[in-house]
Structure 1
Amino acid sequence: MAATPLRTLSDICDLQEKFRPAIHEFPRVIATAQKMLRASQILDIPVFATTQNRARLGETCSDLRLDVPGGFATKIHADKTLFSMWTPGVKTFFSSGQKHAVVIVGIESHICVLQTTLDLLREGHKVYVLADGVSSCNKEEVPIALARLRAEGATVTTSESFLYECMGDAGIAEFKEMAKLVKETKESTSQTLQALCKA
């Protein structure tokens, strides 16, 4: 990121098809995850993804197009029974001791997103939780989880704010493509903010 020497990573937490009918505004979370995947490709940000107990809860939503021809490649796309994404496989990627800036989208805000964030913070990483990219079965859980994460030291922000912070400068080579992405997703972003980030 422009303002920090930290390497940026993107985490997609447990966005599985079986959760679609249960999660508050699930299609909006998917829309933000899709935007972040496109941005990660443009800005060359490594992507980590997890499923929660895939045998019972199924695969990652196919509309995210993870690890399929013509889709988005992940550094790790792992199954877990832990609630946190901080699994042994993920830890090996972080074993160099280098600190990272990690952006998280996914579910559920008060369980897997929260526990992943706490683990990353404990290890000294900077964590961005996207308020327009996380949700829970019970919508009332979300603001409580985000308030706790702020208190614990995470940066709670929005996808657009995070992407401009990543770029830092309109003079970078990727800016034109990123500006196009922001323009193309403007309506969806506005609808998502209204649905997930009501005061």
Structure 2
Amino acid sequence: MQYPTQKASVTLSQFALVDVQTKLTVAMPVSEMQAVIKNCGILLQAANMLNVAYIVTEQYPKGLGHTVPELSALVQPLQPVEKVSFSCAAEPKFNRQLTRDHSQIVLAGMEAHICILQTALDLVSMGKQVFVVEDAIISRNPANKANAIERMRNAGCVITNTESLVFEWLGVAEGDAFKAISKLIR
């Protein structure tokens, strides 16, 4: 499927932070996990500055813990959507929070080859334009992440990165938001 534009727009986008939970992070490669948390933090801060709607999910928090403190501090007082299905789109509460006038969904979180992949595929089948932030997703095994990215790209998802996405949301190199987001990227 070809879309008329492959640029993320702040007025069309909604961001979903998927399952970046305390007990899951310890199973991930340490340096990659730190980079993913940093990039997810940049995305959340940019979303807050630019008034991009977002949803946070937690996979079975009783067993896997809650969203890591570095990120949960950025989403207060928002309550995460608790789920047991791997696809966020299979959770009715997630679907109720999808903003109808936002045709673009930006995905970040974990794990790339399970919850991110299944969510992306379901959102594409719902007619959403899905952006997957490659440097803000992770799997325990890098080969699984690479496979998931290939599958999502083949399904019509736009594979992007944190810096590209936040500057697409900004659109112009001016104003307080530009100055603040530029500092986050450095």
Name the TM-score class by shorter chain: 0.7 to 0.9
51, 59, 65: which is aligned to 2:58?
51
1:140 to partner: Cα distance? 1.1
The verdict on how the C-alpha distance between 1:115 and 1:61 changes in structure 2, with shifts beyond 3 A counting, is same
1:145 to partner: Cα distance? 0.6
1:16 to partner: Cα distance? 0.6
Residue 168 (structure 2) pairs with residue 138 (structure 1): no
Structure-2 separation of matches of 1:52 and 1:168: 33
Structure-2 separation of matches of 1:156 and 1:52: 23
Aligned to 2:3: none
150, 154, 157: which is aligned to 2:153?
150
Structure-2 separation of matches of 1:108 and 1:2: 24
Moved more, 118-127 or 21-30: 21-30
Aligned length: 178
1:150 to partner: Cα distance? 0.5
1:172 to partner: Cα distance? 5.2
Structure 1 vs Structure 2 CA RMSD: 2.2
Q: Deviations over 1:16-59 (max 9, x none)?
A: 11012212322221111111111111111122111111111111
39, 42, 50: which is aligned to 2:46?
39
Structure 1: 5+ residue runs without aligned partners?
Answer: 184-199
Q: Aligned with 1:174: secondary structure? A: helix
Aligned to 1:16: 21
150, 172, 175: which is aligned to 1:169?
172
Structure 2: 5+ residue runs without aligned partners?
Answer: 1-5
Structure-1 separation of matches of 2:39 and 2:56: 14
Q: Aligned with 1:153: secondary structure? A: coil
Moved more, 85-94 or 33-42: 85-94
Q: Deviations over 1:141-179 (max 9, x none)?
A: 011110110000000011001111112222455222222
Q: Deviations over 1:110-155 (max 9, x none)?
A: 1100011111111111111111011111111011110110000000
Instruction: Kindly report structure 1 stretches of 4+ aligned residues shifted beyond 6 Å.
Output: none
1:82 to partner: Cα distance? 0.4
Q: TM-score, normalised by structure 2?
A: 0.86
1:62 partner letter = P
Aligned to 1:114: 117
26, 35, 39: which is aligned to 1:28?
35
Residue 100 (structure 2) pairs with residue 93 (structure 1): no
Identity %: 30
Q: TM-score, normalised by structure 1?
A: 0.81
Structure-2 separation of matches of 1:154 and 1:167: 21
1:5 to partner: Cα distance? 8.5
1:182 to partner: Cα distance? 2.0
